[in-house]
Amino acid sequence: MEGGADAGAMAVADGRTRRRLRNREAVVDAILDLLGEGHAQPTSAQVSERSGVSLRSIFRLFDDMESLHRAAIARQAERVAALMTPMPSTGPVADRVAALADSRAVVLEAITPVRRLAVRLAPTSPPLAAELTRAAGAFRAQVADVFAAELAPGGGTGLLDALDVATSWEAWERLRVTQGLAVDEARAVVARLVGALLGAAPPPPPPAD
């Protein structure tokens, strides 16, 4: 009897753990969906309505909204890591420029809604500021790897700094929002900037729809 009671208690505990994990996933998915739909900073009420998880339960799962934001940004980082496909580090410069521009168009467009939230909150949140720094380092390292052959002869960081800026999220945001370019147009500008910095011929324009 005691063994049966123990097994029953474990089953109940496992069920509660699974339900807690499901609710946590639903809440994080909800805030990411709301950000993706254009809600600049979703409220707890909006997250509750979208996820189907009560406000009381949300704040049992997360200490506060900042904790929820951190969880959402961590999930976004996992998604972005999956999008960061290997880039060629050898071959014609023009091909590598095009490959990097194509990749950045996909990745930067995908991260924009959550990135905007992180930029707003980072000044008062050291963990978010650290995540932005980590992401910037990963992007810079990718550029350094793709163009290692071109960077090596210079022996300095000036060219890498310029390439890093040209392919950054901040530059992408300027192209998409301030200058109002479509994704393909912004991608072409990034490719042109990188090609110009490396002395490569500009790539052909994207095909018309």
Over residues 166-186, mean pLDDT: 97
User: Taking Cα atoms as reference points, which of 22, 121, 19, 23 lies closest to residue 67?
Assistant: 121
More confident residue, 134 or 17: 134
pLDDT in tens, 103-156: 999 999 988 988 888 888 889 888 888 888 988 999 999 999 999 999 987 655
**Nearby residues of 4 by Cβ (< 8 Å), 6 or more positions away:** none
H or E element in which residue 148 lies: helix 148-151
Q: How far apart are CA 120 and CA 178, in angstroms?
A: 18
**Cα–Cα distance list, 46 to 1, 28, 156 (Å):** 47, 12, 49
pTM tops 0.85, yes or no: no
Handedness of CA 169, 172, 177, 179 (dihedral sign): positive
State residue 21 phi and psi, 5-degree precision: -65, -40
pLDDT tens digit sequence for 181-198: 999 999 999 999 999 999
Better pLDDT: 148 or 42: 148
Q: What is the pLDDT of residue 209?
A: 54
